[in-house]
Amino acid sequence: MEGPADGDLLAAMTDAALAAASAAGAAHASVRVERIRTQVVALRDGILETAIDDTEVGTGVEVVRSGSFGFAGSVALGVEPAAALAREAVHAARLTAPARRRDIVFADEPAHGRVEWSSPFQRNPIDVPLADKVALLEEWSRRLMASAGVDHVSASVVAVQEDKYLADLSGTIALQRRVRVHPQAEAASVSKEGDLEEMRTLAPPVGRGWEYVGGDGWDFDGELARLPDLVQEKLRAPSVRAGTYDLVIDPTNLWLTIHESIGHATELDRAMGYEAAFAGTSFATPDGLGNLRYGSPLMQVVGDRTAEHGLATVAVDDQGVAAQTFDIVRDGVLVGYQVDRPIAASAGFGRSNGCAFADSPLHVPIQRMANVSLQPAAGTGPSTEELISGVDRGIYVVGDKSWSIDMQRLNFQFTGQRFYEIRGGRLAGQVRDVAYQATTTDFWRAMEAVGGESTYLLAGAFNCGKGQPEQVAPVSHGCPSVLVRGVRVLNSRQESGR
């Protein structure tokens, strides 16, 4: 398998870095060599606006010596630079020792030997020529702009190839490649009165190859054909009347609610207060483990670093921990957290569940989100149409847009791409300006029904932010459609004073 550098060079760098760290007294040490290539192509009204092809290469070494942590990173690749980084990391551990309040300990993890793994793909999107990417987006743009009522079109595709090599003192040597892609198109319509509405495709980013853009796993042709009528209908739709509604929420919208109100809330470092200065803490504090009623008994949430095509899927995390699947919420009760090795040790967990990641060889691995997913109903389960049929007065919410959540992940507000009024168990046309608002526990406790496997979708984002300096991580969230009773709905237009 091709790695971020020649295999012989990687082996020599590993030997040099780990030997230097051991000689300096490190109890734990790992060396990480990465090549991350990112391509962004974006068109506005069929005209190329952005074309980026960026490659980041570098080496990072982390150590624990006498209870203190040290890290050093460099863009250099080579045997002597690797050894120098190890010595620099040990020096950093010595310098920070007087400031530490407790010893840094990594939870035990067995050696996994040599691991070679790649996310599944048929055609690497990085290898697709720029001209082909531009031609596809031009064709999408022409198709949308040819429709009456579409005034502007944006189209883009982001592709990433992440090659990562990790070796540590325990004997784990992992060579991994992750490929991901996110195609997207958006149509905008302006009324005679100057009112603007936009509508995006719903296709989520995935850990797949270019075959996804070609229609394997998503009907892009069908969605693009529907988009002009949908945005025009939205432009003509009445503004929602604020009040309390039953919501049927599509997975294209619900994934983001899961991300903000469950994914971040159950990161144990956050729950223990370590993110307070930047991204906040969490209401789901450790004293609630095993007894906090997070949601209804139908709520089953798992963390999963093994999900097929998941954006956070790996074989081994950035601290040498094998990928796992684990419970976070079972029967509506908080039963687990996402943890890395230092947090697992400090909190008394026997083992990390593989939630360490660094977005660059120059950055320290920190605790990051697994693919956190709400499980569908057992068996066949209800369809989205069956969920809708059980609502007398409500709204069907499709697609993500803006969000807001407080620093404890408790009070939130979400909007979406498309909203359909439900009357007497049937869809009654679009409404707009919808924002739903709740507290995390009230919302999930009001979840009355969960869709079956036929409604399940793995969605997510490339750009989950955390840490200081900020790091960005890709993560997926799977979920079915759900029915949530009695949710407060605001009119976002009125709330904004327009």
Separation CA 3–CA 122 (nearest Å): 18
Residue by residue, DSSP assigns 377-433 as: PSSS---HHHHHHT-SEEEEEES---EEE-TTS-EEEE--SEEEEEETTEEEEEEBS
Q: What is the pLDDT of residues 114-126, one digit of tens each?
A: 999 999 999 999 9
Sign of the dihedral through C-alpha 251, 253, 258, 263:
positive
**DSSP label at 262?**
I
For residue 498, the model assigns a pLDDT of 64
Q: Which of 217, 144, 253, 161 is nearest to 477 (CA)?
A: 253
Q: Which residues pair with 366 in a beta bridge?
A: 357
Q: How high is the pLDDT of residue 494?
A: 86
pLDDT digits (tens, 9 = 90+) for 215-262: 888 999 999 999 999 999 999 999 999 999 999 999 999 999 999 999
340 near 352, Cβ under 8 Å? yes
Q: Tally Cβ neighbours within 10 Å of residue 470.
A: 11
DSSP string, 183-208: EEEEEEEE-TT--EEEEE--PPPBS-
Q: Residue 123 corresponds to which tokens in the numbers above?
A: 């055609």
| Domains with residue ranges and CATH for the chain | 7-236 (3.30.2290.10), 243-495 (no CATH)
pLDDT at 344: 97
**C-alpha R_g of the chain:** 24
Q: What is the mean pLDDT of each run of 10 residues along the chain (498 residues)?
A: 87 97 96 98 98 98 97 97 98 94 94 97 97 98 95 98 98 98 97 89 98 93 96 96 98 98 97 88 97 98 98 98 98 98 95 98 97 94 97 98 96 97 98 98 98 98 94 98 98 81
Which residues lie closer than 8 Å to 83 by C-beta, 6 or more apart? 16, 17, 19, 20
Q: Does the model's pTM come out above 0.85? A: yes
Chain-centre distance for alpha carbon 36: 17
Q: For residue 39, give every residue at least 6 positions away whose Cβ sits within 8 Å of its Cβ, in sequence order, or none.
A: 52, 53, 54, 125, 126, 130, 133, 157, 158, 159, 160
Q: Which two tokens stand for residue 183?
A: 């195609």
